[in-house]
Amino acid sequence: MLVVSVVVSSAAVMFYGTSLMRSSFMEEASLQAGSTLRLAVAALDGHLKRYEPLPRLIADHENIEELLSQPQDPGLRLAANRYLKMINTLLDSSDIYVIDMTGDTIAASNFEGPASFVGQNFSYRPYFQEAAQGRPARFYALGTTSAKRGYYFSAPVEVGGSILGVIVFKVDIDVIEATWQGGEYKIFVSDPEGIIFMSGNPDWLYKSLLALTEERLARTTASRRYSDARLEELPVRRHTLDGYDLMDVQSEGTSREYLVLSEYVETADWTVNVLTDTTSVHAQARTTVIAIVLSLCLAGMALAVVLQRKARRDQWLAMEIERKAELERRVEERTADLARVNLQLRQTQADLIQAGKLAGLGQMSAALSHEFNQPLAAVKNYADSATLLIERGRAPEARDNLARISSLIDRMASLSRHLRNFARKPNEKLGPVALADVLNDTLEIVAARLATADASLTLDLGAVPPVVNAGSVRLQQVLVNIITNAADAVEGLDDRAISLTARATGGRAVIEVRDHGPGVPPAIAERIFDPFFTTKGPGKGLGLGLSISYNIVKDFGGDLTVSHHPEGGAVFRIDLALADALSEAAE
């Protein structure tokens, strides 16, 4: 679009600009030529004006009057001739002469020269004809005798009320013409017939700007203005452009165009012309237009560069925005993904915890049903045999049976109490928990497992068993878990001893469970509290026990750690806050 607009505007500038510029430069040229014209007219006018009153002055001179009264008197002729010669020299004019009423010249300033006017008849000259009729006249012509151009002023010579002759005063015009030569302008003077009478360029003299029609030639011939000079038409073609007069002149095979400025001078009855060669006008117009077009192209190019830069910057900005948006979108996507994965993880974890709990519950149910079935079967046996013993009258033995039944029922009641503990809400409040009580309940639960593993558990709670800040059911869950793991670890080994110690130091209670199993290598210790970390075979371990225990201890504001005993086996250490006296009192 830019290229098209530059091309179109360039073409428009070329088309309209050229004529506009030409018109502007033409006006400038015309103004300059106008002042040249005014100067030329003023110079001519000034030159001639000086001589205008002189013929009448001379006409009044007595020598002239006397001569015309007695034209044939040689003395008077000589006196007049000398007088005319004298004042001609004095006035720096071309010629001064006296003509009688027949047109014959009777005295002249050039009476001595070879081309003397004396004896010549000038009756055909309009200046003679008018002066002879009493009117001072002016005329310009090429001298028939002198073959010199001049400007003629004539005046009648009146003696005693009648016109006796005419005095003529011829002025040289060469001086003025000489100043027109070789200048920037072509200055020339043409007569009413369009024939060039004066010119800075001598070649153009006596050339006609207008067609030399018979009428014109006849008029010129009558006054013999151009004497015997050969008149020719100047090969010109006149036309106007933007209101200016132009003239094409053919010379030596080439045509030149000029701007024409003319002024008709009424007093002299001629037209002064100034011609300006329009080549420079056209060249200036062309140069200016080319400069404008070039500037346009340059401006177009600059604009193109600016636009291109802007486009590139816009593109870059757009890309940047796009990039940022993309980045934000990806961050959002990732965040959403993460949130989703987190949610899934939490869900899975929750599900698995639930599954773990259920599995634990299942295990516990199995264990409990085993625990209940055995005493129930025993109770049944004791009851049956008690009945038989009573039937047989063996009362003491029957009583013994009943005592055993009672003891078994006690045991089952204890188990059921434990179950009740589990039925409690998991989010029980924290409070002072006597470790000894918790361990009692724990032992009841783990006893069966310890028995199957054939493991022994020794307790050492110190002189004063600690009371810790915890939830009893959950603490019990932790202990069950750790002791069960210890039983798993020692099962089938030679040394199946498990020891539990508890000590209160510096406001904290430290419970350590140590076994003599394979222990926990550092690589496993790192991950042992992770959910689902288990080394046990499929269907045996879920890997949730320690993870849940860890979280429970953390909930108590405590710490659960594992270490490898220097003498072999694993040590699980539970660090809990001791319950203060106030809480103890409250409990």
By CB under 6 A, name the binding residues for ligand ADP. Answer: 481, 485-486, 489, 515, 517-518, 520, 528, 533-536, 541-547, 570
Q: What is the DSSP string of 33-56?
A: HHHHHHHHHHHHHHHHHTTTTHHH
CA–CA distances in Å: residue 177 to residues 88, 108, 228: 21, 25, 21
CB of 484 to ligand ADP, least distance (A): 7
Contact 108, 146 (CB under 8 A): no
User: Which residue, 276, 263, 292, is CA-closest to 27?
Assistant: 276
CB of 509 to ligand ADP, least distance (A): 20
CB of 438 to ligand ADP, least distance (A): 19
Contact 238, 249 (CB under 8 A): no
The tokens of 433 are what? Answer: 């928990």
CB of 450 to ligand ADP, least distance (A): 13
CB of 508 to ligand ADP, least distance (A): 23
CB of 368 to ligand ADP, least distance (A): 19
The tokens of 191 are what? Answer: 């007569």
Cβ proximity to ligand ADP: between 405 and 542 the closer is 542
Cβ proximity to ligand ADP: between 26 and 570 the closer is 570
Q: What is the CA radius of gyration of the chain?
A: 74
**In sequence order, what are the beta bridge partners of 171?**
151
CB of 483 to ligand ADP, least distance (A): 9
CB of 462 to ligand ADP, least distance (A): 22
Cβ proximity to ligand ADP: between 373 and 535 the closer is 535
Cβ proximity to ligand ADP: between 507 and 538 the closer is 538
Cβ proximity to ligand ADP: between 34 and 518 the closer is 518
Cβ proximity to ligand ADP: between 120 and 348 the closer is 348
- The rounded distance, in Å, linking the Cα atoms of 477 and 446 is 11
CB of 328 to ligand ADP, least distance (A): 42
Backbone angles phi, psi at 361, to 5 degrees: -60, -40
CA–CA distances in Å: residue 87 to residues 55, 109, 118, 405, 455: 11, 8, 17, 189, 173
CB of 357 to ligand ADP, least distance (A): 13
Contact 191, 209 (CB under 8 A): no
Per-residue b or e along 195-229, where b marks 16 or more CB atoms closer than 10 Å to that residue's CB: bbbbbbbeebbbbbbeebeeebeeebeeebbbeee
Contact 431, 583 (CB under 8 A): yes
CA–CA distances in Å: residue 533 to residues 18, 133, 369, 527, 555: 96, 153, 29, 7, 21
Contact 95, 88 (CB under 8 A): yes
User: Which residue, 227, 147, 183, is CA-closest to 43?
Assistant: 183
User: Which residue, 216, 193, 189, 228, is CA-closest to 205?
Assistant: 189
Report helix, strand and coil shares of the chain as percent, to nearest 5: 50, 20, 25
The tokens of 225 are what? Answer: 């203005």
Cβ proximity to ligand ADP: between 53 and 362 the closer is 362
Cβ proximity to ligand ADP: between 171 and 553 the closer is 553
CB of 494 to ligand ADP, least distance (A): 16
Cβ proximity to ligand ADP: between 220 and 485 the closer is 485
CB of 330 to ligand ADP, least distance (A): 38
- The rounded distance, in Å, linking the Cα atoms of 548 and 530 is 9
Query: Residue ranges of the alpha helices (H) in 424-453?
Result: 435-453
Q: What angle do CA 190, 53, 161 make, to 5 degrees?
A: 115
Structure letter (DSSP) for residue 195:
B
DSSP H/E element including 299 = helix 279-391
Cα-to-chain-centroid distance, residue 450: 85
CB of 316 to ligand ADP, least distance (A): 57
Cβ proximity to ligand ADP: between 198 and 455 the closer is 455
Cβ proximity to ligand ADP: between 55 and 545 the closer is 545
Cβ proximity to ligand ADP: between 95 and 488 the closer is 488
Cβ proximity to ligand ADP: between 216 and 496 the closer is 496
Cβ proximity to ligand ADP: between 289 and 502 the closer is 502
Cβ proximity to ligand ADP: between 209 and 542 the closer is 542
Structure letter (DSSP) for residue 519:
-
Backbone angles phi, psi at 152, to 5 degrees: -105, 135
In which residue are the tokens 């000086």 written?
A: 50
The tokens of 407 are what? Answer: 């003891």
Structure letter (DSSP) for residue 209:
S
CB of 569 to ligand ADP, least distance (A): 7
- The rounded distance, in Å, linking the Cα atoms of 346 and 339 is 10
CB of 454 to ligand ADP, least distance (A): 16
